[in-house]
Amino acid sequence: MDFHTLAHETLARYVARASGASTLTLTLAFDLKGHSTIGQCRQEKRGHYRIRLHCELCEHYGQTYLEDVIPHELAHALVMERYGRRAKPHGKEWKATLEHLEGGKIPSKKRPSYPLLRTKRTRLTRHAYTCDCGKKHLLSAIRHNRIVRKTHWYKCLTCKGVLLPLET
């Protein structure tokens, strides 16, 4: 069975457990990438929610991943629908909703660990700049490229001098 079918079946199972979830329109998307987000719930409009899953983690961890993430994100949708923005993302309403979905106490650890996410981290490139007071400033690649394209310039917060590339 492919992970798309498995994910939809897992969602249907948790929706059946939740009171009020049958009135929601829930869409699953397998479009998350990156290193830090393993799942996400987005409200598209009142009663309509998109649960975004990490495709690579679905493929690698299968049912274990789905059993961790789907109830977590469904609980967010239910809390947003019932309480709106008054409830905190992992507050008491969310915890009570997740406990109901899981059928008992939830573990104190909110986020499971998936080693696959840790292996692909890349280090951000920083570019050295200096100012009139001689202070060294490290700028991100985005800011560096803006300076190179001459669309932006940046000032030192201390001396108010324009930042110039540091000669290496």
- The residue behind tokens 């540091």 is 166
- Round to whole Å and give the CA distance between 99 and 116: 27
Using CB atoms within 10 Å of the CB of residue 16, give its burial: 0 to 12 exposed, 13 to 18 middle, 19+ buried.
exposed
- 99 is known as an active-site residue: no
Q: Identify the residue whose tokens are 């809390």.
A: 79
Q: Which of 9, 44, 59, 73 is catalytic?
A: 73
Are the CB atoms for 164 and 156 separated by under 8 Å? no
Rounded to whole angstroms, the maximal C-alpha distance in the chain is: 65
Burial class (CB in 10 A: 0-12, 13-18, 19+), 42: middle
Q: Rounded to an integer, what distance in angstroms lies between the CA atom of residue 113 and that of residue 154?
A: 39
Coil, strand, or helix at residue 121? coil
Active site residues per annotation: 73
